[in-house]
Structure 1
């Protein structure tokens, strides 16, 4: 997972590019600043700079959850066993949700810090520990008192991943981007940075930790060079788990019944005995009744009840009696099993739903998580085109959750989907074509299609339907989003898989659903910006990668011929770390992108740069990632609270300031501009 792009305002960070505003407009900007009413009040407000620009707050439509962790624990308040899950909200803060799975009700507790979590860990004395991102903290929640008692920072780290309790009673956790181990005392909150044995390398992750037999901490490091190490609490030193194999790597890691169990990709399930972690020839487990042996042991297993996995099956082993029982053989694709109840039901999450699966059940019952979450910021914004089947909608989606949301023009009806594909992650790009919504998603490099006129049935791959994945092409994240070309095809720009530098340009034909991948069109750099003109696709790159540090070097601008299927122009931009926010016209074959106080202008007919338009705005805010083309032919950029309109004759007009900064924007089928600011969707009339 990429960690460095979660700001409240999603700007490109590449510079400025607007004309200077007249003094009278600046004076009006100072005198008209005021707060905006809530969306429910349907407040309309004229924008400064042009009397007929009217902004209307519509809704906070995105309510999707992103649940990555959960445990079963008895609620001391009422004595009922509940499912305690963590939910991400990058705007209002993370949430701890206590689901009573018997009554299908829930309570929500807002965190004092953090936006999301990968781990919730039961502690003695009716408490829970929660590790957070994007601020790298440990939280302690007292279930009886219904309050957070400690907030512990890990300085310099943005993620604290999994946690484990050491022999000293302290809680240990691994981090990103420093690949460090840290710990804190849950009684006092006192923190210690335990350091990293891979400091100074390209390894940025210490993601998995577990308590070893004897109470030391097992750690997995990656992703440039993976290894498994043991942190000896007494000596405060890291040791290799397998001293003769520094690159030995295995996961998941589970400590149980005096042994450490790990699963190796080639050797299968392995076991190490006692505090010294001596390898044993055969794991002390019952014989596996199916397939080629056990694949893993669930992290939620206990000394009394062990859950084993094999061939997509989950088995329950009771060591005291030797009983081995099949819990489920159901396909749980897209599901995350997080714990088991006292009576043996499997508790888990699938997108916006949870389940409590009884042993031997012939089917999986999914229930929507019974809690309303606060609004979330938009990760993308698009709209049904003019002439498409009604009702017309504005579409968006959040960072993580793998969902889409819609706002129905005219009625104001809001709808949030379940997961559009089985893989975890998020929708990066979406385009509405012929009444259907096509999506491109991280992290499985998936394409899907959804028809809003038909019933939702993702579980059976009916609607939305999975078109295909390009993960076999070593791609992961559609950083260049997805655009509709003049040939009716959908083009997307990609960043390579974890541990690799590179990217791709991809074409999806919505008529045949054929997917064509061109890897590394501008070399081993990701395609982070993409615009489609009349004949060409315009590409921008930088030096970032998934799970690797940013390389030294500048970004590129490139031109791809849609007809010839090849690069016809590329240039390293020696003064730019990244080429972002590319916009393209079709009435004239022109492309634009910003650098500091200017817009570069590229002529597709002559295949050369022809101009640089000076266009500064006050206070130099970042550029909105979206650049939208109006049917009449002009391009619209946004920067903070200002809009800049670029005509085909290169005449540039500044509009604004609006009362809210523009995060994402799109033109609707009714000709209005729709934009997001924070969690709210707005419309703008008068352009």
Structure 2
């Protein structure tokens, strides 16, 4: 990078527990530039929650809030079930994801909330969505339900609160935390008298009395005491039907007697239908059977012969006004934007796909480079799969079925990765075609209530895996996975109450970094993250220390060529000597920041001798000798991977970027000269750019200064001594060209010199591509060696240029 820019980006060092500082070393100029590679998963239709209703004419509609990404808000869309057409679509002003949508029959309006806290409404026929504000800043909206009288109830996270909104007055009321200590109000069902609330991270059920404003907790059957969440609820006659996770059992509660009267094991989906028009049956899906009709009189179910390959998001009884589907049909939405409809009289079925819905690029969750040299990209709740980017061709391929990838690793020719939820471990042989189910085969699973396999390191024939537990749980794990057999040995709480978010391996031992956080929905009890050393044969922790006092996560670990372990914790870089098991140096080089699970945890040593780190939303270069640090890229940088050519890959939201060391840095011009200029040009400091200039005189570049010349002519000599950088692109020089002792990059492209050319003792990298010289060319003492292409030299060629 150019000297002026480098100077602006050098971060002051705040030394903690470091030896006496040596005299400041000069900051080497940056080589390379950022390159945007676009969106690996360019469009994804995902609506985590849905609802169904009717317009003023009674035409049935399905409502979606398709997810956005950090750069693109979510989008509200409505599908007409009779025509299959999307009849309304609007990109929202704010909010990315929605798990809360409900249609109120009382006023014919759909209400939806965002996990970022916004509440919106739309009435069919309106020209635009109505923003109702952010009722409770800091609280995301995670479920909505409409009462028969039109009052809208909502559940929140992280407060686990129940609130209501009265559309007639516009008033919000906070009714407090539904169940003490529960952070998610995750499921709601409402009638005239009560609001039933299901919670997470512990599956609890409570009834809110709408008249008195009091909560009354209902104990679930004893076998569900340790369950994680009450996820879905439907009121049917006097019964409350609720699905609990992780068993996915359906519990049937008699609201009159206060007893649980039936349990249906392992149903599939996120919803149970409302009662049919006769009030006799509700419908739900069982994966091995298909859709079943559940008889509310006998509490038994019967398959109906309809088996859509999707689990239900919402159900509704709809009038299609179609003789082929008479009366009311049962419509089911699926969160990938699909609609399945079945008629109980004729058993006819209809399908409406997601093609007309608008999605958004999918947010990147993890990056890794496989043994095949390809860059693999995992994404959030990814229905398209994960992406494979080929650096050689620039082509991106979607690999279907991967799910949400939390982390990558390798062994031999295999890429391994961890999937959320339920901590699946998958093994892909990169020498064979991708075929989900066979390559990779069925997932191995980490036990011990783990959910997110974050980090991977090979140790012997095993893969060490660090993981984060399920929602509402503390205590991550170090697992040893044998991909050849599928066996997984899990050691939970290797550091009590902390998750394992980074691992490295050397000399038969595993080194792990922890986070004080557990799964979402629970506060940490530990206060400082640790670095531990473990024996993979037994899982025994041989030693453990706090590498950075006060640090809440040891976000990344890597070994250098000499066996020193480097790590980063909350913006502090540290080194750890495995021989003495002690921290040898620690300095806060980056702004203090931490993340719960992952993106802020990457360190890469490159062949140029530098350490590259993603931390606090930026990509940094660190000199491991002087610990001088330079920011290369900023504004939301996350993840980090390096390909075989040494280029670095990172993400911002849904976009993939490459720091390409073969690209020339982009200049920031302090002075720009254009058009005719009579007399000499002396670049004394900063960056001077010649852009379409015609210089009638010599050009001199002083030590530390930078010259960038494009599409220009110089009638006179060009000399640079100790320059911060020299770039000549499409330049004609009438006279000698001499660049000596440049500490920044020297780039000469498409340039003609009528005279001798000397390139001497330049240390910032020298690249010459397309140079025509009417005199001699001499290159000596340049380190690294010059990169030369397409030379046309009339005179003698000497030194390194001749050797190249």
**TM-aligned CA deviation for residue 395 of structure 1:** 1.6
* 1:139 matched residue in structure 2: 120
**TM-aligned CA deviation for residue 23 of structure 1:** 9.4
* 2:452 matched residue in structure 1: 477
* 1:518 matched residue in structure 2: 491
2:556 is the alignment partner of 1:576: no
Q: Secondary structure at the match of 1:120?
A: strand
**TM-aligned CA deviation for residue 206 of structure 1:** 1.6
**TM-aligned CA deviation for residue 182 of structure 1:** 0.4
Correspondent of 1:202 among 181, 196, 201:
181
Cα distance in 1 for residues equivalent to 2:221 and 2:369: 57
Cα distance in 1 for residues equivalent to 2:260 and 2:588: 70
Correspondent of 1:347 among 305, 311, 332:
332
Residues 104-135 of structure 1 show CA distances to partners (whole Å, capped at 9, x for unaligned) of 664643223322112321123442111210x2
Query: Aligned in 2, Cα 1:353/1:671: closer, same or farther, shift over 3 Å?
Result: farther
* 1:545 matched residue in structure 2: 518
Correspondent of 1:676 among 647, 651, 654:
651
* 2:419 matched residue in structure 1: 441
Asked if the contact 2:609/2:623 (under 8 Å) is kept, the reply is no
Query: Aligned in 2, Cα 1:464/1:338: closer, same or farther, shift over 3 Å?
Result: farther
Asked if the contact 1:112/1:148 (under 8 Å) is kept, the reply is no
Correspondent of 1:307 among 257, 271, 282:
282
Correspondent of 2:215 among 238, 241, 245:
238
Q: Which aligned pairs between 1:212-291 and structure 2 lie closer than 5 A?
A: 212=191, 214-224=192-202, 226-241=203-218, 252-262=232-242, 269-273=251-255, 277-279=256-258
Correspondent of 2:109 among 114, 124, 127:
127
Residues 400-456 of structure 1 show CA distances to partners (whole Å, capped at 9, x for unaligned) of 3364223332443334444425xxxx3101235555542211221112244677776
Q: Secondary structure at the match of 1:236?
A: coil
Asked if the contact 2:50/2:314 (under 8 Å) is kept, the reply is yes
Query: Aligned in 2, Cα 1:408/1:216: closer, same or farther, shift over 3 Å?
Result: same
Asked if the contact 2:113/2:120 (under 8 Å) is kept, the reply is yes
Which ranges of structure 1 fall in alignment gaps of 5 or more residues? Answer: 1-20, 31-47
* 2:144 matched residue in structure 1: 163
* 2:703 matched residue in structure 1: none
Query: Aligned in 2, Cα 1:540/1:511: closer, same or farther, shift over 3 Å?
Result: same
Correspondent of 1:652 among 617, 627, 635:
627
* 1:33 matched residue in structure 2: none
Query: Aligned in 2, Cα 1:653/1:419: closer, same or farther, shift over 3 Å?
Result: same
Asked if the contact 2:514/2:555 (under 8 Å) is kept, the reply is no
Asked if the contact 1:268/1:295 (under 8 Å) is kept, the reply is no
Q: Secondary structure at the match of 1:473?
A: coil
Asked if the contact 1:585/1:633 (under 8 Å) is kept, the reply is no
* 2:601 matched residue in structure 1: 625
Q: Which has the higher strand share?
A: 2
Asked if the contact 2:254/2:261 (under 8 Å) is kept, the reply is no
**TM-aligned CA deviation for residue 171 of structure 1:** 0.1
Cα distance in 2 for residues equivalent to 1:296 and 1:658: 43
* 2:722 matched residue in structure 1: none
Cα distance in 2 for residues equivalent to 1:597 and 1:28: 19
* 1:58 matched residue in structure 2: 37
Which ranges of structure 2 fall in alignment gaps of 5 or more residues? Answer: 11-26, 319-324, 663-804
2:159 is the alignment partner of 1:185: no
Correspondent of 2:394 among 406, 412, 434:
412
2:301 is the alignment partner of 1:327: no
Cα distance in 2 for residues equivalent to 1:462 and 1:615: 46
* 1:400 matched residue in structure 2: 381
Residues 290-334 of structure 1 show CA distances to partners (whole Å, capped at 9, x for unaligned) of x999999954314516433486442246999x99863346485x7
TM-score (norm 1): 0.77
2:613 is the alignment partner of 1:637: yes
**TM-aligned CA deviation for residue 380 of structure 1:** 0.9
Q: Which aligned pairs between 1:382-401 and structure 2 lie closer than 5 A?
A: 382-385=368-371, 388=372, 392-401=373-382
Residues 495-524 of structure 1 show CA distances to partners (whole Å, capped at 9, x for unaligned) of 223343211112333344332322222233
**TM-aligned CA deviation for residue 570 of structure 1:** 0.6
TM-score (norm 2): 0.66
* 1:588 matched residue in structure 2: 562
**TM-aligned CA deviation for residue 632 of structure 1:** 7.0
Asked if the contact 2:529/2:546 (under 8 Å) is kept, the reply is yes
Q: Secondary structure at the match of 2:129?
A: strand
Count of residues in Structure 1 that have an aligned counterpart in Structure 2: 613
**TM-aligned CA deviation for residue 67 of structure 1:** 2.7
Q: Which aligned pairs between 1:446-457 and structure 2 lie closer than 5 A?
A: 446-450=424-428
Asked if the contact 1:99/1:370 (under 8 Å) is kept, the reply is no
**TM-aligned CA deviation for residue 367 of structure 1:** 5.2
**TM-aligned CA deviation for residue 75 of structure 1:** 5.5
* 1:87 matched residue in structure 2: 66
Correspondent of 1:377 among 363, 380, 388:
363
* 2:463 matched residue in structure 1: 490
Q: Secondary structure at the match of 1:379?
A: strand
Rg comparison, structure with higher value = 2
Correspondent of 2:478 among 499, 505, 508:
505
Correspondent of 1:148 among 104, 125, 129:
129
Asked if the contact 1:591/1:601 (under 8 Å) is kept, the reply is yes
Residues 613-662 of structure 1 show CA distances to partners (whole Å, capped at 9, x for unaligned) of x4636x76779422124367753213444522354xx4434334436553
Cα distance in 1 for residues equivalent to 2:272 and 2:69: 27
Asked if the contact 1:354/1:369 (under 8 Å) is kept, the reply is no
Q: Secondary structure at the match of 2:381?
A: coil
Higher relative contact order (CA 8 A, sep 6+): 1
Residues 533-565 of structure 1 show CA distances to partners (whole Å, capped at 9, x for unaligned) of 454322122332223222152221111245675
Q: CA RMSD in A?
A: 4.3
Q: Secondary structure at the match of 1:173?
A: strand
**TM-aligned CA deviation for residue 80 of structure 1:** 5.7
Query: Aligned in 2, Cα 1:411/1:370: closer, same or farther, shift over 3 Å?
Result: farther
Asked if the contact 2:456/2:466 (under 8 Å) is kept, the reply is no
**TM-aligned CA deviation for residue 56 of structure 1:** 1.4
**TM-aligned CA deviation for residue 175 of structure 1:** 1.2
Query: Aligned in 2, Cα 1:72/1:158: closer, same or farther, shift over 3 Å?
Result: same
Asked if the contact 1:152/1:184 (under 8 Å) is kept, the reply is no
2:443 is the alignment partner of 1:467: yes
Asked if the contact 1:298/1:308 (under 8 Å) is kept, the reply is no
Cα distance in 2 for residues equivalent to 1:99 and 1:308: 22
* 2:190 matched residue in structure 1: 211
Asked if the contact 1:154/1:182 (under 8 Å) is kept, the reply is no
Residues 76-123 of structure 1 show CA distances to partners (whole Å, capped at 9, x for unaligned) of 69x764432232223112222434677766464322332211232112
Query: Aligned in 2, Cα 1:324/1:29: closer, same or farther, shift over 3 Å?
Result: closer
Cα distance in 2 for residues equivalent to 1:568 and 1:409: 41
Asked if the contact 2:571/2:594 (under 8 Å) is kept, the reply is no
